[in-house]
Amino acid sequence: MNKPSRRDARLAAVNAEAPTNLKLDHSPMSDIAHALTSGRVTATALTKNYLARIEAYDRDGPVLNSVRELNPDALTIAGKLDDTKPSVKRPLAGIPILLKDNIATGDKQPTTAGSLALEGARARDDATVVKLLRDAGAVILGKANLTEFANMLAIDMPSGYSSLGGQVKNPYAPTLVGDRGIPVVQPGGSSSGSAVAVAAGLCAASIGTETSGSLLYPASQNGLVSVKPTVGLISRAGIVPISHSQDTAGPMTRTVRDAAMLLNVLAAKDPLDPVTERQKRPVDYTADLAIDAMKGARIGVPSDPADPLNDCYYGKLPPKWVKVMTEAIKVLEDLGAVIVRASMPTPGWIGGPGTTMAVLNRNPLSRHAGTTARPPVVFLYELKRDLNLYLKDWATNTEIKTIADIVAFNEANAGKALRFGQDLFLAADITRGDLSEREYKSARAMDLLSAKTRGMDAYMNQHKLDAVLFPGSGGCVIAAKAGYPSVMVPGGFVSGADDKDTPDYPLGITFAGRAWSEHKLLRLAYAYEQASNMRKPPPGLSAL
């Protein structure tokens, strides 16, 4: 007689409490909240079912590897919430949510940023966003895998790889290349585990983080909605940092309404993050989500056929991307939007003089090994200061207290820790760590001048725009440098990567705008989402 598999045992354990009339592979969080409110499902049943899906698809089956560690107290927390229904006061009561593993929790779960150097490291307290989620009734299901240190350790590290958690796979195209184990289709930016888990139905929603593209890119690659908020809308206190100038947390969900629900919870002023004191937000981000929100909106498409040499966002798109964007723009026009086609000023591409640093690429698995990479000066200089402060003020149960300690640990454990090197950490560690250098101050000023003043501001002012439409996450850099918000929504499907045939995988479209315009962008994204209905769950991950 065959011995039951771990998957069979898990399924048997949840069978009696399996949710009815809910398809967890693609049910919106709002539907799950309604089911909890009506008593059709309990928090315990939901949590057990998500744990079963994690066992079946993340640990077994295609082995997506998106969940780095489960919260050992998840079922206990859920049990305490079984008699609490979602309400205005506790809108997320009983809803299981995953956190990217650079978001601190003051519980039994380590906070590691995917690094072997921080294996077992705990946090002295919950990050502010975690406190807000718990207060709203969320069940913290576990920690999602990520690109190690949010992709600021090594040049050309594959998205979704960490020395502690391994490689996250894209659920639409999970194939890895040969013995190198690198994805043919990337799972996205550093929040790839958070995105894959939502796409695969392993949680109701997740929280990721972005410095430049790490919410938008994985959302695009996994057919999700994400909000990259204005810097200062959501507290960064207790989040392992890269750059305080650009870092932010944000929701990853299956629908625009779900993202708005989470933004209602997460957008709060916090004395631990003084930049939140200037925030501006509506009472309710879910208010006025309507399909007629697009009517009369002026949407900038930064592409002018008469100016092809200045068309960095649309000019070199692959044919399948062109088809998706053409169809998306047609939907916007049918909804009553005014499409304004005009190239964005050249200074707004990626930055101005002196904003990057030359770093030798010694990644042995990189196609560009031995050449010079040009990472942003602001990232490298702020990384040392900000990470050292996190390790000093938040990290416990670890002897690692500085970025220099991480570099030394990695060198001592190179066989396991340095598969792709640590060239970016080496470059960051030679800075002073106090942001006193002239080159840092100049680079930050130049970023704002090129991306904000002469970039997004100039473009939106000149054409009187409500939002700017970018293909995929193509506009992430200019919005991130300006500290401006973006909303990603599924736009369609493409195929092929690195000259290889692949299954179809998602491509999103991004609405970007001015500071604190999240509500406007959500309304525009909702109108498009309802008219296009482009999200489809990954194949082969059906309800259990």
**In this predicted model, what pLDDT tens digit does every residue of 238-255 receive, in sequence order?**
999 999 999 999 999 999
Helix, strand, coil abundance in the chain, percent, nearest 5? 40, 15, 45
Q: Is the pLDDT of residue 348 over 80?
A: no
Query: Looking at the predicted structure, is the pLDDT value of residue 373 above 80?
Result: yes
Share of the chain above pLDDT 90, in %: 88
Which of 27, 30, 48, 100 is labelled catalytic? 100
Handedness of CA 253, 259, 265, 268 (dihedral sign): positive
The mean per-residue pLDDT over the stretch 404-420 comes to 97
> Would you call 100 a catalytic residue per the annotation?
yes
Q: Give 1's pLDDT tier (boundaries 50, 70, 90).
A: very low
- As beta bridge partners, residue 462 has none
Q: Which pLDDT value is given to residue 121?
A: 98
Q: What is the reported pLDDT for 292? A: 97
Q: Is the pLDDT of residue 3 over 50?
A: no
**CA neighbor of 195 nearest in space, from 164, 173, 177, 220:** 220
Domain boundaries, the chain: 6-291+475-532
Helix residue ranges per DSSP H, 223-367: 256-266, 319-334
Strand pairing of 395-396 and 161-162? unpaired
Return the pLDDT at 171: 98
The residue among 454, 483, 201, 440 whose CA lies nearest residue 348 is: 454
**Is 452 an active-site residue?**
no
Cα(132)–Cα(109) distance, rounded to whole angstroms?
18
pLDDT at 92 over 70: yes
- Catalytic residue (one of 159, 163, 192, 214): 214
Average pLDDT, rounded, for the chain: 94
Report the share of the chain in percent with pLDDT over 70: 94
Q: Are 95 and 41 in contact (CB under 8 A)?
A: no
Q: Is 2 exposed, middle or buried (0-12, 13-18, 19+ CB in 10 A)?
A: exposed
- Residue 23 scores a pLDDT above 90: no
Choosing from 190, 243, 343, 517, the catalytic residue is: 190
Task: Over range 83-90, report the average pLDDT.
Answer: 96
Residue 305: the pLDDT is: 84
In terms of Cα–Cα distance, which of 202, 193, 169 is closest to 52?
A: 202
**Residue type for 464, please?**
K
Residue-level pLDDT at 349: 61
Does the pTM surpass 0.85? The reply is yes
Mean pLDDT computed over 38-48:
96
The CATH-assigned architecture of domain 6-291+475-532 is Alpha-Beta Complex (3.90)
**For residues 218-228, average pLDDT:** 98
Give the pLDDT of residue 2: 44
